[in-house]
Amino acid sequence: MRPTARLTSRLAGALRTWSVAVLFALAATACATSPDAASADRDADRPNRTVRVLAFNDFHGHLEGPVGEMRVGEETVGVGGAGALARHVEAQRKGPHDTAVVVAGDLIGASPLVSALFHDEPTIEAMNQLGLAAVSVGNHEFDEGWRELRRMDEGGCHDEEGCFGGDDFAGADFPFLAANVLTPEGETLFDPYVIKEYNGVKVGFIGVALDSIPSIVIPSGVEGLTFTDEAKSLNRYARELQDRGVETIVALIHEGGYPKEPSEDADPGGCPDLEGPILDIAARTSTSVDLMATGHTHQTYICNLDGHLVTSAGDEGRFLTRVDLTVDPDTGDVVSRKASQIPVVTDAGKPSALKTKRSRRVDRAVSRYAALAKERAQRVVGYVTSSLSNERNQAGESPLGSLVADAQWAATRKHANADFALMNPGGLRAPLGMNPGEDETEHRPVTFGDLHRTQPFRNRLVTMTLTGTQLHTVFERQWEGQDHPRILQVSEGVHVRWHPDRPVGDRVDMADVTIDGQPLESDATYRVTVNNYLAEGGDNFEVFTQGTDRVSGGLDIDAMREYLAEHSPLEPPAKPRIERVPADSSAD
Query: Do 132 and 77 share a structural domain?
Result: yes
Query: Do 182 and 242 share a structural domain?
Result: yes
Q: What is the structure's pLDDT at 442?
A: 65
CATH number at residue 461: 3.90.780.10
CATH number at residue 37: 3.60.21.10
What distance in Å separates the CA atoms of residue 375 and residue 370, rounded to the nearest whole number?
9
Task: Note whether 347 and 78 are within 8 A (CB).
Answer: yes
Q: Three-state SS for 339?
A: strand
Query: Do 392 and 343 share a structural domain?
Result: no
167: confidence class by pLDDT, cuts 50, 70, 90: low
What distance in Å separates the CA atoms of residue 436 and residue 238, rounded to the nearest whole number?
49
Task: Note whether 179 and 233 are within 8 A (CB).
Answer: yes
Query: Do 382 and 341 share a structural domain?
Result: no
**In this model, does residue 357 exceed pLDDT 90?**
no
B/e letters for 40-73, b = 16+ CB within 10 Å, e = fewer, are eeeeeeeebbbbbbbbbbbbbbbbbbbbbbbbbe
Q: What is the structure's pLDDT at 408?
A: 98
Q: What is the structure's pLDDT at 4?
A: 38
201: confidence class by pLDDT, cuts 50, 70, 90: very high
Type of residue found at 168: D
- The number of folded domains in the chain is 2
Q: Which residue has the higher pLDDT, 93 or 29?
A: 93
What distance in Å separates the CA atoms of residue 38 and residue 212, rounded to the nearest whole number?
40
Q: What are the pLDDT digits (tens) for 98-121?
A: 999 999 999 999 898 899 989 999
Query: Do 294 and 407 share a structural domain?
Result: no
**In this model, does residue 155 exceed pLDDT 50?**
yes
- Which of 339, 357, 373 is a domain's end point? 373
CB 161: neighbour CB atoms within 10 A?
Answer: 10
DSSP H/E element including 446: strand 444-447
Task: Note whether 258 and 299 are within 8 A (CB).
Answer: yes
Q: What is the structure's pLDDT at 354?
A: 57
- Which of 311, 339, 373 is a domain's end point? 373
Residue 160: Cβ-neighbour burial (10 angstroms; 0-12, 13-18, 19+) = exposed
386: confidence class by pLDDT, cuts 50, 70, 90: confident
Query: Do 137 and 202 share a structural domain?
Result: yes
Query: Do 384 and 339 share a structural domain?
Result: no
**Long-range contact set of residues 512-520: C-beta below 8 Å, sequence gap at least 24:** 512/475, 513/471, 513/472, 513/475, 515/419, 515/420, 520/468, 520/471, 520/472
Q: What are the pLDDT digits (tens) for 446-478?
A: 999 999 999 998 898 999 999 999 999 999 999
160: confidence class by pLDDT, cuts 50, 70, 90: confident
**In this model, does residue 16 exceed pLDDT 60?**
no
User: Which alpha helices (H) appear in 244-386, and where do they start and end?
Assistant: 277-284, 357-377
Percent pLDDT > 90 in the chain is: 73
Q: What are the pLDDT digits (tens) for 47-89?
A: 999 999 999 999 999 999 899 887 756 778 889 999 999 999 9
Task: Give the global pTM.
Answer: 0.80
**In this model, does residue 527 exceed pLDDT 80?**
yes
What distance in Å separates the CA atoms of residue 259 and residue 275, rounded to the nearest whole number?
6
Query: Do 207 and 308 share a structural domain?
Result: yes
Q: What is the arithmetic mean of pLDDT over 428-451?
A: 77
Type of residue found at 489: Q
**In this model, does residue 181 exceed pLDDT 90?**
yes
What distance in Å separates the CA atoms of residue 16 and residue 549, rounded to the nearest whole number?
48
- Which of 373, 393, 416 is a domain's end point? 373
**In this model, does residue 550 exceed pLDDT 80?**
yes
Query: Do 360 and 224 share a structural domain?
Result: yes
Q: What is the structure's pLDDT at 190?
A: 98
Q: What is the arithmetic mean of pLDDT over 382-404?
A: 95
Q: Minimal CA–CA distance to 289: which of 342, 333, 341, 340?
A: 333
What are the residues facing 421 on neighbouring strands? 529
Instruction: Supply the range of the domain harboring residue 150.
Output: 5-373
What distance in Å separates the CA atoms of residue 241 and residue 234, rounded to the nearest whole number?
10
Query: Do 347 and 255 share a structural domain?
Result: yes
Query: Do 432 and 350 share a structural domain?
Result: no
Q: What is the structure's pLDDT at 415?
A: 87
Percent pLDDT > 70 in the chain is: 87
Query: Do 384 and 369 share a structural domain?
Result: no
**In this model, does residue 246 exceed pLDDT 70?**
yes
Q: Which residue has the higher pLDDT, 143 or 70?
A: 143
Q: Where are the beta strands (DSSP E) in 255-377?
A: 258-259, 274-275, 291-294, 300-305, 308-313, 319-327, 334-343
Task: Note whether 289 and 206 are within 8 A (CB).
Answer: yes
Q: What is the arithmetic mean of pLDDT over 408-415?
A: 94
Give, in degrees to the nearest 5, the angle at Cα 546 between 542 and 547.
115
**In this model, does residue 222 exceed pLDDT 90?**
yes
Q: What is the structure's pLDDT at 451?
A: 95
Q: What is the mean pLDDT of the chain?
A: 88
Q: What is the structure's pLDDT at 7?
A: 37
| Lowest-pLDDT choice from 11-25, 39-53, 489-503, 541-555 | 11-25
**In this model, does residue 21 exceed pLDDT 70?**
no
